[in-house]
Chains A and B, each alone.
Chain A
């Protein structure tokens, strides 16, 4: 209870689902050996933390930001540039953290103070504009960021796949630096999500919810809403940058497509909404569902597409082409905003018979 900051999942089905996801993530290297499963699991962890930090903004303060990938990208690029420029050692990682997090914080502070004073809509538009400028900047400053190609780099010795701690004889596969990196990612993400749970269940988090429900009234109660919103924006930005750092460490690469693009922003939005806004737990569920779908649904779609093409149906093969999976997710997104705006978590919590 302490660990969850007094905010348990409040639904038996939800608890079971969460436990299953977390156990599966913990055991992935042992029960699903193979690079793909490990990649998917790491991505779920990273996105769970990223989406949880976005949930702090969207779900708890009700402000839509389109600049979340920018902070994610700042984290990724900080690691990539430091490890690329300063060499693969832990000092560079520390330098990246020391430079990346404050940069994200300052930028979030500037955007927040500048645009959170007015309407939520204003904030949404300004973040969209700033994020797109940042994306262009990152792909143009190629001497620093590697441009469109991004930056590949070497990890510190300890985290490399070549570093074997326990040989094949124990588990049938070697426990190497890759698996250590995975657990590093997993535990860092778990820490960040627990920290976010702490934040949203603090008095500060309650004020954020009050602002979401009725900003005018919160202001009338004497809360300086601009500062609360700006702090929330800063916390979310720092955690997003942290997730970005883990992402870069895991991929050993940072580039516009993997860390900055608009489509990642859409993915984050989809995950928050599917999982359930304003719950934090929704982030874990949303990320798990979405990334599993992203990785395994496309295979199904390609089968369906070929089948439709063989049956000679018009249009369907094109619509079912694996590259069009975002189309179906977009429809799912609209449907979930429309029919169950509270997402999976909200659904499970409101089910009759759920333990409260």
Chain B
């Protein structure tokens, strides 16, 4: 609960707080339904951790769309590539990752994550220049081009790494859980929550407290005006695209470690989830994306616990419900 309360203290550009309260209300409503306090805490922590990971992956997509009206259907490719790059570092150095020391573990985990972000960021540069640049302003072609990019990326991953599932065990220091009373909180989930929350805060700070953030927000509102004022919005956009790709890569690493396995199809799987989050949040809104990610994860976790069969379509139901309430998503940022 403390994590959700903390969002309230963040700088809020909008006074519209109803969506912010939504996850908290949902979590509270679930207490009587679930019954046992310890499973409720476990489920809530699980949803927050999952939500943070999805947020990391989705944040780039929503900004890219908001700023430049480009919808990247190949976003999932960055997630998959990120996860695979991490295996390149983590598997040869398995002895370090499995050493019983937090420092040694981090000494291999951090470079792996950074390398993944570097590679996916660079890939983002290539994709933006080659696939997206020629088709600005043409939605249909954008969707086709980026879908093609997704196929090529996925198949290349298969060709390079083989079609089998690659196991990616968690470093030793991150295994297990903290036990408080009769509540067990998995260490890795806690880490995922911290990282995701830190990234959310960082993005919000950059967007709200820096000149670049000001330009990005202005670009989301009205691209032509920013261009008319003499700023090179294309370059800004390239930066956002690369950052978004790098974040997707980081999300891929975290997801791979969370599942403890990596497969090229995670790109497809997560693309759908990420899209739902972006739609729920409102295209272009970081805060909306953050709340949307938590909501999707909560519905998946609580739903999976209460009515396992319903969990399959719970995301769609959530999306329908949110869009009934607010047809443009929780926070409608763009006027498009």
Contact = CB atoms under 8 A, between A and B. Distances in A.
A128 B152 CA distance: 19
A324 B158 CA distance: 8
A64 B143 contact: yes
Contact of A324 (B73, B147, B155, B315): B155
Contacts of A122: 279
B151 A327 contact: yes
A323 B279 contact: no
B160 interface: yes
Nearest to A139: B312
Interface string A108-135: 0000001001111110111011101100
A341 interface: yes
Q: Interface residues of A toward B: which range?
A: 35 or more
B209 interface: no
A333 B313 contact: no
Interface string B300-336: 0000000001001101100110010001100000001
Nearest to B70: A121
Secondary structure of the A contact surface, majority rule: helix
Given A121-B71, A129-B276, A338 B147 contact: no
Interface string B134-168: 11000111011101110110011011100100000
A326 B151 contact: yes
A272 B323 CA distance: 31
B158 A337 contact: no
Q: Interface residues of B toward A: which range?
A: 35 or more
A266 B73 CA distance: 12
Contacts of A114: 320, 323
Contacts, number: 103
Contacts of A330: 148-149, 151-152, 155
B144 A333 contact: yes
Contact of A334 (B149, B156, B309): B149
Nearest to B275: A125
A337 B132 CA distance: 12
Interface in B109-145: 131, 134-135, 139-141, 143-145
B12 to A, nearest CB: 26
Nearest to A124: B143
B5 interface: no
A304 interface: no
A269 B156 contact: no
B268 interface: yes
B272 interface: yes
Nearest to B316: A133
B319 A333 contact: no
Given A121-B71, A137-B313, A327 B155 contact: yes
B279 A269 contact: no
A121 B327 CA distance: 14
Nearest to A262: B268
A326 to B, nearest CB: 5
A130 B327 contact: no
A129 B151 CA distance: 18
Contacts of A326: 151, 155
A327 B312 contact: no
Contacts of A338: 134, 145
A120 B145 contact: no
Interface string A325-344: 01101110110011001000
A323 B159 CA distance: 9
A161 interface: no
A103 interface: no
B156 A337 contact: no
Given A119-B139, A334-B131, 16 more contacts: A58-B140, A114-B323, A117-B327, A124-B73, A124-B143, A129-B319, A136-B313, A262-B268, A323-B163, A327-B151, A327-B155, A327-B159, A329-B151, A333-B148, A334-B145, A337-B141
The 6 closest A-B pairs by CB, nearest first: A327-B155, A330-B151, A334-B148, A330-B152, A333-B148, A318-B159
Interface of A: 58, 62, 64, 114, 117-122, 124-126, 128-130, 132-133, 136-137, 140, 262, 266, 269, 273, 315, 318-319, 321, 323-324, 326-327, 329-331, 333-334, 337-338, 341
20 contacts: A62-B140, A117-B327, A118-B327, A119-B139, A121-B139, A124-B143, A125-B276, A140-B309, A318-B159, A318-B160, A327-B156, A330-B148, A330-B151, A330-B152, A331-B148, A333-B151, A334-B145, A334-B148, A337-B141, A338-B145
